[in-house]
Structure 1
Amino acid sequence: MAVIDINADLGEGFGIWELGDDIALLDVLTSANVACGFHAGDPLIMRRVCAAAVERGVTIGAQVSYRDLAGFGRREMDVAAPELTAEILYQLAALDGIARAEGGRVAYVKPHGALYNRVARDPVQAQAVVDAIRTYDPSLPLLTLPGSAVHDVAEGLTVVSECFADRAYTPTGTLLSRREPGAVIHDEGTVVSRAVQMAVDGTVVAVDGAKVALKARSICVHGDTPGAAVLARAVRSALSDAGVMLEPFA
């Protein structure tokens, strides 16, 4: 039987601005990537999401990023490795402290946006993220793409691969840039069928029609897209109907 985790990015509002329906998504997910205040989120939102996740038994992950509130963490930045390590450590400690105050804890780490894509190909910045995790708690798994540079530098850490039900893939198995048309898939039927194919067959159809191997332990559904909770619920239902066991990886 295939076993899969369903994750999404949560806590990405800021102050009075709300983004996504965190509570509705928490009723569907098995893991929640909670923004740590550097690309989105604030202490009140972090606390509210952590409390709701603990109440529902959803695993909490630290969604760490570049310090880029204005760009939502989607602008690539050249940050010196020691500085990046310190900033990841800062975010980890902040979210874990809040999670523990609510009766939970941070159980894994997932980079966000531009940092996520950068560490997939840049061993220097990948090492900086790994160093922060190893310094804080080497038992924390790191969630990333299959084939990411993180796999090559994370000796001693657990690296978990994920796939994206609602993102288009290139023939090489990387995510199609958000600058390209069709990078984010909104059609529910397409997203659902892709999720089942990823979980059961370990493959995805790329933008050129090629079938690409994609072994992953977790499936991500973006929490900031319109109707994300409805989409995530449809994905979860389809996976269960296909005989896939839903279980957090951490």
Structure 2
Amino acid sequence: MGSSLALVIGIPLTRALSAVLDWRSIFWILNAMMLLSLVYFLKYLPKADHASTKLDLKNELQFFKDGKTLLLLAYTLTMFMGYNAFYTYATPYLLLLFPSIEPLMSLILVALGLASFTGNLLGGHVSDAIGYAKSMMLGAILQTVSMLLILVFQPSKWLSVLFIIVWLMSAWFTGLQLNTGIAQVTENKSSFMLSINGSLIQLGGALGASLAAVFINLSGIQSIAVVALMTSLVLVLIQVVSMKRYS
């Protein structure tokens, strides 16, 4: 919830500040906020019992031999490649295609943040009702359909905005299930695999943004939707294989 709520507040606020401050001033503000957060955590975060969290690397590495775990990790990497490939460039994408939308961009970013928050909330409830595996499949299908609609209705300003909101909601709908899946397949015995999963989120984001930059240079910014669509199709394939083999 924290990440999606940050999108509601942080991105529109930064965009508003960029109109009156240069990037150096914004970075200093961010540094001050992080320093205050560090002081807060040092003061109030409970100390961990390191004796009870000792890493048994040999046992942890055994999870890499489990196909279900590997498919979950592949899903995480692929999903965040597609997510960052599109969302990193979502603002310039809309502004380049529809310059008249610029005065409303802050409101659109707020709507995108609310969509991520709503998707996260709905994803948790649906996962509780039908299980994380089916929920991940549903999320992958929703991402594929919404990205396909973004491509089909690319010339239409408001339909593009609408389907981007739906796509972002479906992406965050799935995000919560990734750690849930890892926790369940490892029977809550591997904080190491949860850390690996978190690292793959960051790696996938970096790879996706870089891949999108290559496509933009080759084919224009409209092509980022193609990158996101391809990764969504891969997600569906991964989940089909996972559910057929391990359900």
TM-score, length basis structure 1:
0.27
TM-score, length basis structure 2:
0.27
Query: Which structure carries more helix by proportion?
Result: 2
| Higher Rg | 2
